[in-house]
Amino acid sequence: MALTQPKLDATEARLAGLTLPESRALASNRAEALTRLRAMGLPGRRDEYWKYTRPDTLVAPEAAPAAVFDTYETPVFGEVDRVKIVFVDGVYDAEASDNLDLAGVSIERLADAEGHDIHWSKDLYGVLEARGQDPVDRPLAALNTAFATDGVLIHVTGKAAKPVSLIYLHADANSDAILHHVVRLDAGADLTLLENGPAAARFNKVLEVDVADGAAFHHVRAQGRDHERRAATHIFARLGAESVFKSFTLTANGVLTRNECVLELTGDNAVAHVAGACVGDGDFHHDDTVFITHDALNCESRQVFKKVLRNGATGVFQGKILVKAGAQKTDGYQISQSLLLDGDSQFLAKPELEIYADDVVCSHGSTSGAIDEEGLFYLRSRGIEEGPATDLLTLAFLAEAIEEIEDETLAAEILARLEAWLARRRAG
């Protein structure tokens, strides 16, 4: 179908400011992505998939500036022994990064890999993204594949000795960053990937993960600080038999964040969990869009999303479970809940199930509620002041999502961030 003129104009206006990076190994991957993008056009307000989130600022030729805040926060994951890879406004910073040698893992910078004639990433870069374009267009991800200027390619052959940690620093108020990472886990391999930081004034990031049979991928991400920042992120993952994929995202602050997660369970007995906790205040807009496709026997998927909203903040959840014909014994679960701390905030949810197999268990639920007055009085009657009592109940509300993080140290890190965020809000 031909694009409408406004969509065509908007797409070409954005493309005018971009140049395809030099590439040898991945030149065709990038070119094909550009063709995909031109065919679908960038998202507009009238697109059903963008009904609750205005894409204007994400597709505009220029990024709106975002002030860089002084970092009064203790950096997250500070207590975790990890390999740190630092990007400043979307540019790899070799000096700030650790040595990338890690047993069981090979890590390369995207630009270095592209300099070769042949590279393993050719089979994955933009390939999982392209698979994720069906049945719903994700044009910002295609744009990313075509124009990403940096990123890392991680090949995991065994059990990684420690987590790989991607740190996104934001220094320039006008930065507009496009990063693309690919993670390939061989059969039986195991990696924990951490991500944190505000990244840029505008951030477009794609993470493609290929989880081979029996491999395990754990992902914990903390998006925070720099209130005016905007981000559109995509995760595309393909899961082999007996594999495990678990991803958790904490989002605090950010005037606009859209996190899409597109998972495809292609091997029997695979397990996929996606969870998120977000805390929003004021003109915060946060969108979790998840699409999980079951295309194998006896797989399990869980989506657990919790949002705490106040002072006019908006939370969005679009979550879908698609069970293909033949994906029998699927166990799918989806819950999205919001805690609205005042009458100004809103939560918009669109849970979807589409099932073509007849022997499956799928459940979903979505709720919006205020703080439990009975519980609040009970805590206060024991001497806990209203502010801390509200925080306790808020953390209790978020607990189900945080419990999705398997590693206790990482869960504690996330909890500490939330506690600090709540305490700061209370301090005013």
Partner 1 sequence: MLEIKNLHVKLEEEDKRILKGVDLSIEPGSVHAIMGPNGSGKSTLSYVLSGRDGYEVTEGAATLDGHDLLELEPEERAALGLFLAFQYPVEIPGVGNMTFLRTAVNSQRKARGEEELSAADFLKLIRAKAKALKIDADMLKRPVNVGFSGGEKKRNEILQMAMLEPKMCVLDETDSGLDVDAMKLVAEGVNALRSQGRSFLVITHYQRLLDHIKPDVVHIMADGRIVKSGGPELALEVEHNGYADILAEAV
Q: In what side-by-side order are the strands of the sheet with 91-92?
A: 91-92, 83-88, 164-169, 190-196, 216-223, 244-252, 271-281, 300-310, 331-340, 361-369
Strand partners, 176: 202
Question: 107 to 136, contacts with partner 1 by CB under 8 A?
Answer: none
User: 21 or 388, CB closer to partner 1?
Assistant: 388
CB of 398 to partner 1, least distance (A): 8
- 22: alpha, beta or left, given left = phi > 0 and alpha = psi -120 to 50? beta
In the complex, the smallest distance separating the C-beta of residue 403 from partner 1, rounded to whole angstroms, is 9
Smallest distance, Å, CB 68 to partner 1? 35
Choice between 52 and 305, CB closer to partner 1: 305
Kindly compute the dihedral angle of the four CA atoms of residues 386, 390, 396, 401, in this order, to the nearest 10 degrees. -160
User: For residue 211, how far is the Cα from the chain centroid?
Assistant: 17
Q: Kindly state the smallest distance separating residue 395's Cβ from partner 1, in Å.
A: 7
Beta bridge partners of 153: 108, 182
Helix (H) or strand (E) holding 275: strand 271-281
Residues in contact with partner 1, counted by CB under 8 A, come to a total of 24
| Gap between the Cα atoms of 166 and 154, Å rounded | 12
The residue among 119 and 306 lying less far from partner 1, judged by its C-beta, is 306
Least distance (Å) between residue 402 CB and partner 1: 10
Nearer to partner 1, 3 or 371 (CB): 371
Pairing of strands 152-156, 105-109: antiparallel
Q: Of 318-337, which residues contact partner 1 (CB under 8 A)?
A: none
| Shortest reach from residue 394's CB to partner 1, in Å | 9
Rounded Cα–Cα distance for residues 249 and 280 (Å): 14
Our CB check for partner 1 shows the closer of 65 and 375 to be 375
Q: Which is nearer to partner 1, 189 or 402 (CB)?
A: 402
Q: Where in 28-87 is the site for partner 1 (CB under 8 A)?
A: none
Q: DSSP secondary-structure letter at 427?
A: H
In DSSP terms, 340 is beta-bridged to 309
**Tokens 């305490």 -> residue:** 423
Smallest separation (angstroms) from partner 1 to the CB of 382: 4
**Comparison of 344 and 386: residue with beta carbon closer to partner 1:** 386
Q: Which is nearer to partner 1, 103 or 399 (CB)?
A: 399
Task: Work out how close the CB of 334 gets to partner 1 at its nearest, in angstroms, rounded to a whole number.
Answer: 19
Q: How far is the CB of 386 from partner 1 (least distance, A)?
A: 7
Query: Using DSSP, how many helices (H) and how many strands (E) does the chain show?
Result: 9, 19
Using a 10 angstrom Cβ sphere, with 0-12 exposed, 13-18 middle and 19 or more buried, the burial of residue 118 is exposed
Nearer to partner 1, 372 or 406 (CB): 372
Strand ranges (E), 186-270 = 190-196, 202-211, 216-223, 230-239, 244-252, 256-265
Name residue 337's amino acid. Q
Shortest spacing between CB 305 and partner 1, in angstroms: 16
Segment 348 to 407, residues that bind partner 1, using CB under 8 A: 372-375, 377-386, 388-389, 392-393, 395-400
Strand 83-88 and strand 164-169: pairing?
Answer: parallel
13, 378, 389, 417 from 386: Cα distances, Å:
51, 11, 5, 20
Q: Is 428 one of the binding residues for partner 1 (CB under 8 A)?
A: no
Identify the residue whose tokens are 């607990």: 399
Query: Is the Cβ of residue 130 or residue 379 nearer to partner 1 in the bound state?
Result: 379
Can you give the binding site for partner 1, defined by CB under 8 A?
372-375, 377-386, 388-389, 392-393, 395-400
